[in-house]
Amino acid sequence: MSTLYLKADQETISKYVIFSGDPWRVEMLQKLLDDPKHVAFSREFNTYTGTYQGVPITISSTGIGAPSAAIAMEELYDCGMEVAIRMGTVMGLKEGMLGKVLIPNGAMRLESTSDSYVPKGFPAVASIDLINVMNQSVKNNNREYLNGISATMDGFYSQMRESRLSKKMNTDILKTFDDLEKFNVSGVDMETSLMLVLGNLMDIKVCSVTMTTVLRNLSKVLEGEERTKAEQDLCKIVLDGIVLLDQGEKQS
C-alpha cells in the first residue's frame, strides 16, 4: 500500500534518502543516477529511486518549510528509510560564506513543527558519522565547508526577507539577523531543525548539507552560471558522501 502523499512504498524506496526542497532540483539530481525510476510526483513531493556508483538512493522533494518536510520524513520512514539528508540552500549570516557549504552540527529550533513532536529542550543535532563523510566529500569536490549552528524559521517574508507587508507593518527584519549573530549562528533555513529532530526520534542517521546561495536579507546572491555550478556541485557532494558512508558501513 502506498503512502498518503508521496505515493511511495517499501518496494520503491531505498534506505538512503536525499531530501531537497525544490521539486525541480530533484529532476537535476535524478540525472546523476543510474536507471532512475520515477516513484511519483504528488503535490510538492517529487520522488525517484535509482543507483549511484552501485548504491541504491532515493531522492524526494519536501517543498518549502517544516510542515511538509515532516510529512516527507514520516512517509519515507514508513517505507524503511535509514539515512536522511537534507540537501538544499541556506541564507548565510557570515561574510565569505557565499558559495560555501554549511553542514551544521545542530540547529536552533525556531520553527514550530518540531514543537508538535517534542518539548523545546529537545536538541536538533546531526549524526556525527554523516557530518564526517559529507565534510570529506566537500573536500573531494574542491569546495569549502563550515560546521556550526544553523537556525530554522517558519516565516520567510516575516523573518528572513523584507517585503512590502513587512515594511507596512514596521517589522524589523534585520533584527532577526542581528539577534542570531549574537549566538554565532552561521545560517538560516526553513527545514533543518525539524528534520534533525525527526531523524533522532526515528533513530536513523540524519544531517543537513546546504549551499550558501544568499547572504542576510539577500544582500548578496549567487546568480547565473555560478549558481548553477554551485547546485551541481551540491548534488555531487551529497551523492559522493552517501557512497563514502556505504563503503564505511560495509567495511565495519
Quote the CA–CA distance of 211 and 232 in Å, as a whole number: 10
DSSP string, 15-71: SEEEEES-HHHHHHHHTTSEEEEEEEEETTEEEEEEEETTEEEEEEE--SSHHHHHH
Burial 50-72 (b: 16+ CB within 10 A, else e): bebeebebbbbbbbbbbbbbbbb
Which of 32-36, 213-217, 243-247 is the least confident region? 213-217
218-237 tens-digit pLDDT? 888 999 999 999 999 999 99
pLDDT at 17 over 80: yes
Delineate the domains of the chain, giving CATH numbers in brackets.
16-248 (3.40.50.1580)
- Give, for 92, the enclosing helix (H) or strand (E): strand 83-92
The 8-class DSSP code of residue 204 comes to S
User: Residue 63's closest CA among 24, 14, 107, 13?
Assistant: 24
pLDDT of residue 26: 95
pLDDT at 85: 98
pLDDT at 1: 87
Averaged pLDDT score across all residues of the chain? 96
And the C-alpha cell for 170? 514596521
- Which pLDDT band holds residue 252 (cuts at 50, 70, 90)? confident
Q: What is the mean pLDDT of residues 123-132?
A: 98
pLDDT of residue 92: 96
CA distance 43 to 244: 32
DSSP per position, 96-136: T-TTPEE--SEEEEESSTGGGTS-TTS-EE--HHHHHHHHH
Instruction: Specify whether the CB–CB gap between 192 and 114 falls below 8 A.
Output: no
Residue among 25, 20, 121, 133 nearest 72 (CA) = 20
Neighbour tally for 26: CB within 10 Å: 25
In this predicted structure, the answer to whether residue 250 has a pLDDT above a threshold of 90 is no
Query: Do 139 and 147 touch, CB atoms closer than 8 A?
Result: no
CA atoms within 13 A on the CB side of 95: 0
Q: What is the pLDDT of residue 249?
A: 87
DSSP symbols for 132-188: HHHHHHHHHTT--EE-SEEEEES-IIIIIS--HHHHHTT--HHHHHHHHHHTTEEEE
